[in-house]
Amino acid sequence: DAGVIQSPRHEVTEMGQEVTLRCKPISGHDYLFWYRQTMMRGLELLIYFNNNVPIDDSGMPEDRFSAKMPNASFSTLKIQPSEPRDSAVYFCASSYSYGEGYGYTFGSGTRLTVV
């Protein structure tokens, strides 16, 4: 099991540019989550999907953020246009709804810097 795979690991972009973060969940997991981690706000849930359907996007900061999950093995988080305050580490996590449950399995994160 390769775990949750996120790409890229690091992204530096200029303000105003579009940024796309990618995530491949663990095979068989039916829930996928996007989190943002900053020093000021800690870990914040942005959006989560169940069976590829967005369930709760109330944590998405504003319309500049969008997330998709076109199939069970891939999700994207897009920021357009990006702003310096979007600089953070973005984590993707997945889990499954049956069995004993192991909490979330997180990816290694994408460190985004908007200059």
Residue 75 tokens read as 């999700």
Quote the CA–CA distance of 37 and 111 in Å, as a whole number. 9
Answer yes or no whether residue 75 interacts with other proteins by CB under 8 A. Answer: no
Answer yes or no whether residue 72 interacts with other proteins by CB under 8 A. Answer: no
Answer yes or no whether residue 89 interacts with other proteins by CB under 8 A. Answer: yes
Whether the Cβ atoms of residue 92 and residue 3 lie closer than 8 Å to each other: no
Smallest separation, CB 27 to other proteins (Å)? 16
Helix then strand count (H, E) for the chain reads 0, 11
Q: Tell me which of 19, 34, 47, 107 binds other proteins, using CB under 8 A.
A: 107
Quote the CA–CA distance of 80 and 94 in Å, as a whole number. 24
Interface positions with other proteins (CB under 8 A): 30-31, 33, 42-43, 45, 48, 50, 55-56, 89, 91, 93, 95-97, 101-109, 111
